[in-house]
Amino acid sequence: MGLLEIHLRQRREAGRALLMPYLTGAITGDWVDYLRAFVDAGADAIEIGLPFSDPTLDGATIQEASHVALSRGASVRAILAGLSGLELGVPLVASTYQNLVLHDGPEAFCGALRTAGVDGLIVADLPLEEADEVEQAAADAGVDLALLASPATPPPRLAAIARRSRGFVYAVSLMGTTGERAALSASATTLAGQLCESTDRPVLLGFGISTPDQAAQAIRTADGVVVGAAIMRRILDGASPADVGAYLAAMRQALDQEREPAS
Amino acid sequence: MTDLRLRPRDLPRPRDLPIVRPAGTMSDPGPRGKFGDHGGRYVPESLVAACQEVEDAFRDAWSDPGFRGSLATLLAVHAGRPTALTPAWRLSAELGITLLLKREDLAHTGSHKINNVLGQALLATRMGRTRLLAETGAGQHGVATATAAALLGLSATVFMGERDVERQALNVFRMRVLGAEVVPVGTGSRTLKDATSEAMRHWVTCVDDAYYCMGSVVGPHPYPWMVREFQRVIGEEARGQCATELRTGVPDYVVACVGGGSNAAGTFAGFADTAAQFVGVEAAGGAGATEGRTGVLHGFRSRFLQDDDGQITEAESIAAGLDYPGVGPEHAYLRDLGRARYVTVTDAEVVDAALRLARTEGILPALESAHAVAWVIRAAESGELPPGATVLLTLSGRGDKDTATLMELV
C-alpha cells in the first residue's frame, strides 16, 4: 500500500472525513502559499493540477485556470520543481491528462512525481482498459494511481475499478465536467454508496461540491470530498491564500460537525 | 433500390447485398480499437459506457444486411452515389501521367462527409437517439450532420469554434437553414480542436438521448474504425471504376489529402490488398502525421503537434478542414508500417493547384482536396512520379466554400 493510501486510511480510521482541495499548479506567482493555506485549513491531501492545453473533462472554471497557468509559462517540470522539498505534512496528488504522462514516457513521468514528493496521480482520460502501462510505472515509482468511477459505470466494472485503484477511488458525482453546482446530485449518493459497499479503499466524491452543506451531505455516504472549481473560481476572482483558507476552514468545520455524532 | 416513394423512416429491406469482410491491414481493429500502438479509448470514465454502446450498435448494424441496405439506399437516392471517376485528360497530358479523379465533390452537400454522416445518423436512429452532436471546422461536417438530421427527423447541435463561425459564415447559415443549432466555442484557439473538446464535454451530459457524430477517423474507439468503414464506399467504388478504366486494373498510386484523414482512409481501404502506393497529403501547417509526436487527445493515441512541454499546438492552414493538430490513429499506424507515406504541401502550392485544376479540367476543388492535387503536380514535375504512372486521386470536396478565400488571393 502506498503512502497516500496509508495516510488517508489512518485519518479515516481516526473518524475524520477527508478533505482534498485542488489547485491548478502555477496559477499565480505565489501559488505555493495556497497549498500552505489548504493545510492550515485542515486539508487531508492536496490535488495539484498539471495544466493541459485541452482539458476535455473540465468545465469553464478549470479550463480558464489551466489557460491562465499555461499563459504564465506553467509546465510539468516547473510545477514539480515548485513542489520539491515543500514538506507540507499532507500527501500531494498530481492530476492531469494522458498526453502529459506520455510526453516523456510514463516511467520518467512517475519518477519525476516521486522525486518531487508527489504520492498520488489522477489521469482524467485514462480508463481501466488503457491504464496498464501507467499503472505499472506508477507502482514502480511508489505513486498511487487513483482511478475514477462515474454514475455511468456498471456495477461489475465499479468493482474492478475499486480493486485496481490505489490511494483512493475518485467518485465522479455526476454526468458532466468539473464545475460548481447548486446542489449535490442524486447520482452522487448512489455511486458513493455502491463504491463503499464494494471496497474498503477510501472513496472521495468530487465534481460540483461547492458549499459546506454539500460537503457534509456528501460524507454521509463517501469517505471524503474533493473541492476544485469552487476554489479556482475564487482564485481567478482574486481571492488570497487567506481568503481561500477561510472558505476551506468553513468546509472543514461542516465535515467535522457531520462526523461528530457518530464518533 | 430507387423507390421514389421512399420515406426515411420506412426504408426498404434490401435484397442480398454482399457483406465485405476485409482481412489484414485496414480491417477490424478488435475490441480495444488498436492500430498498432495507436487508437484506443482514452476517454473519461463517464464516456466509456457510451463509447461501448456505440461500438456494440455499430458491430451489430454493420453485420446486418438490413442496415447496409438502408444505408446503400440513402447513399444512392439522397447523396447521389456512386460518384463519377473522371479522367483528368488535359492535366494528365501536361504532367505525363494518367490521373483519375474520384469525384466526392459531386456528392450531396459538396464533400465526402455525407457518406459518414448518413451512416452514423442511421445508426443513431437504430439506437433510439433523437439528437445528433457534432463538431465542425470549416463547416462541411456540420452541414452534412444538419442535412442527415433533417432527413431522418433528428435534431442536431453543432459545436464550432468562434473563429470558424466568423470565417465560414455561409456554412453557419446553411446549418441553421437546415434546422441545426450552432454553438460557437470561445475557448482556446476557438477552432476545430476546441470545438471537438466542447462537443465531448457536452456529450458527457446527455449520453442517454444524444448520439455523438464524429466527423473524421479520429476520437475514441470505435469512431476511427467506424468512420473509415462508412467512408470505405469511396475506395470500393473507385476500385471497381479503376478496374474498368485502367489497363492494369489498379493504379500505381492512391493519393488523398489528410486532416484527420477520413477521405484518405476510405479511399485507401478499397486498395488495402493491392500493391498501390498510398500517399496522404497534409498541410504544411497542420502536419500531424508528418511532424507530430506520439500523444493522446480527444480519446485516441496517435501523432499530434505539440510543444516541448507536451501542450498541443495550433494547426494553421489555408484549408480550415485540415486545421487539426493530429491525425487519425490508423494513419499513424500505416505510416509506422510503411504502408502509406505522408507528405506536406504549402498554401501557395495549394492555391496554384486549385486554379490549375479549374483551368485544365473545369473542376474547382476544395482547398483541402487541392492539397492532393498539389502533391501530384509537384511529384510529376520533379520526376518522383515516373512518366506514365497511373494515379487515383480522391477529390474530397468542391471549392465553392473557398471562393471568398480565393478572391482575396487571385
Say if residues B334 and B340 touch (Cβ distance below 8 Å). yes
Confidence label for B16 from pLDDT (cuts 50, 70 and 90)? very low
> C-alpha cell of A63?
479550463
Task: Determine how many CB atoms are found less than 10 A away from the CB of residue A199.
Answer: 18
Shortest CA distance to A12 belongs to which of A201, A218, A226? A201
DSSP structural state of residue B395 = E
Question: Average pLDDT in the B245-268 region?
Answer: 97
Contact B44 A124 (CB under 8 A): yes
Q: What is the mean pLDDT of residues B55-64?
A: 98
CB contact under 8 A, A150 and B46: yes
User: Does the structure show a pLDDT above 70 at A52?
Assistant: yes
Residue B59 and residue B101 in one domain: no
Q: How many domains does chain B have?
A: 2
Instruction: Provide the pLDDT confidence category of residue B187 given band limits of 50, 70 and 90.
Output: confident
Domain assignment of residue B10, yes or no: no
Q: Which of B189, B216, B302, B396 is catalytic?
A: B396
Q: What is the CATH number of domain A3-256?
A: 3.20.20.70
- Across the interface, of B32, B43, B309, the residue whose CB is closest to A76 is B309
Q: Is residue B72 part of a domain?
A: yes
Mean pLDDT of B192-201: 96
Place of cell 470536396: B397
Chain A residues whose CB is inside 8 A of the B297 CB are 54, 99
- CA A165, A169, A171, A172 dihedral sign is negative
What share of chain A in percent tops pLDDT 90? 98
What residue type is A132 in one-letter code?
D
Cα A169 to Cα A47, A251, B61, B157, distances in angstroms = 14, 21, 36, 34
In the predicted structure, residue B6 carries a pLDDT above the cut 80? no
Name the residue of chain A whose CA is nearest to B46's CA.
A150
In a domain, residue B321? The reply is: yes
- Bond into B222 cis (ω within 30): yes
Band of pLDDT at residue A99, cut at 50, 70 and 90: very high
Q: Is residue B151 included in any domain, yes or no?
A: yes
Q: pLDDT of B350-401, one tens digit each?
A: 999 999 999 999 999 999 999 999 999 999 999 999 999 999 999 999 999 8
Which of B173, B194, B223 is the endpoint of a domain?
Answer: B223
- Could you tell me if B92 and B160 lie in one domain? no
Most A CBs within 10 Å: which of B190, B311, B314, as the mutation test of the A interface?
B311
Give burial (CB, 10 Å; 0-12/13-18/19+) of B21: exposed
Q: Residue B184 forms beta bridges with which residues?
A: B160
Catalytic site residue B349? no
One DSSP character per residue, A59-121 reads -HHHHHHHHHHHHTT--HHHHHHHHTT---SS-EEEEE-HHHHHHS-HHHHHHHHHHTT--EE
- Joined together, the cell numbers standing for residue B81 give 452515389
Answer yes or no: is pLDDT of A157 > 60. Answer: yes
Does the active-site annotation cover A256? no
Query: Does B45 contact A154 at a Cβ distance shorter than 8 Å?
Result: no
pLDDT at B11 over 90: no
| Helix/strand/coil for B133 | strand
* Contact flag A99-B193 (C-beta cutoff 8 Å): no
| B310 Cα distance to chain centroid | 27
What percent of chain A is modeled with pLDDT above 70? 99
Please give the mean pLDDT across all residues of chain B. Answer: 93
**Do B385 and B249 fall into the same domain?**
yes
Instruction: Decide if pLDDT at B58 tops 80.
Output: yes
How confident is the model over B23-38, as a mean pLDDT? 90
Residue B287 is predicted with a pLDDT of 87
Question: Which among B296, B319, B315 has a CA at the least distance from the CA of B305?
Answer: B315
pLDDT in tens, B295-311: 999 999 999 999 999 99
Residue B98 lies in a domain: yes
DSSP-derived 3-state class of residue A257: helix
Are B45 and A129 a contacting pair at CB < 8 A?
no
Using pLDDT thresholds of 50, 70 and 90, give the confidence band for residue B20: very low
Q: Comparing C-alpha atoms, which of A205, A228, A152, A214 is closest to residue A184?
A: A214
Q: Which residues of B touch A58 (CB under 8 A)?
A: 201
Do B171 and B261 lie in one domain? The reply is no
Mean pLDDT of A108-134: 98
| Domain of B354, in residue numbers | 85-110+232-409
DSSP class per residue in A199-256:
--S-EEEESS--SHHHHHHHTTTSSEEEE-HHHHHHHHTT--HHHHHHHHHHHHHHHH
Distance from CA of B107 to the nearest CA of A (A): 33
DSSP A142: T
State what percent of residues in chain B have pLDDT above 90.
84
- Helix B113-126 to helix B65-77 angle (10° resolution) is 140
Say which range, A30-44, A179-193, A224-238, has the weakest mean pLDDT: A179-193
Residue B285 confidence class, pLDDT cut points 50, 70, 90: confident
C-alpha cell at B56: 456494440
User: What is the residue type of B205?
Assistant: T
Q: What's the pLDDT score for residue B12?
A: 41
Q: Which of B202, B223, B244 is the last residue of a domain?
A: B223
Whether residue B42 is predicted with pLDDT greater than 80 in this model: the reply is yes
pLDDT of amino acid B37: 95
Q: In what order do the strands lie in the sheet with B253-257?
A: B85-87, B98-103, B390-395, B253-257, B277-283, B340-345
- Please tell me which residue in A5, A44, A58, A144 is annotated as part of the active site: A58
**CATH assignment of the domain containing B133:** 3.40.50.1100
Instruction: Decide: residue A160, CB within 10 A, 0-12 exposed, 13-18 middle, 19+ buried.
Output: middle
DSSP state of B207: T
Residues B119 and B94 placed together within one structural domain of the fold: no
pTM: 0.95
Q: What is the pLDDT of residue B349?
A: 98
Angle, CA of B384, B275 and B260, to the nearest 5° = 75
DSSP B31-51: TTTEETTEE-----HHHHHHH
Q: Does B20 reside within a domain?
A: no
Give the SS3 label for residue B353: helix
Write out chain B residues lying below 8 Å of A164, CB-based.
none
Distances (CA, A) of B365 to B106, B167, B315, B355, B386: 10, 18, 21, 9, 25
pLDDT at B404: 87
Query: Tell me: the pLDDT tens digits for B206-240?
Result: 999 999 999 999 999 999 999 999 999 999 999 99
Residues B292 and B201 in one domain: no
Does an H or E element contain B159, and which? strand B155-161
Among the partner residues A53, A67, A127, nearest to B45 by beta-carbon distance: A127
Asked if pLDDT for residue A33 goes beyond 60, the answer is yes
**B47 and B92 assigned to the same domain:** no
Whether B377 and B288 share a structural domain: yes
B144 and B103 assigned to the same domain? no
pLDDT for position A172:
97
Which candidate in B92, B111, B113, B361 is catalytic? B113
Question: What does the pLDDT average to over B14-19?
Answer: 44
pLDDT at res. A261: 64
Q: Are residues B94 and B70 in the same domain?
A: no
Q: Mark yes or no for CB contact B204/A175 under 8 Å.
A: yes
Which of B174, B199, B223 finishes a domain? B223
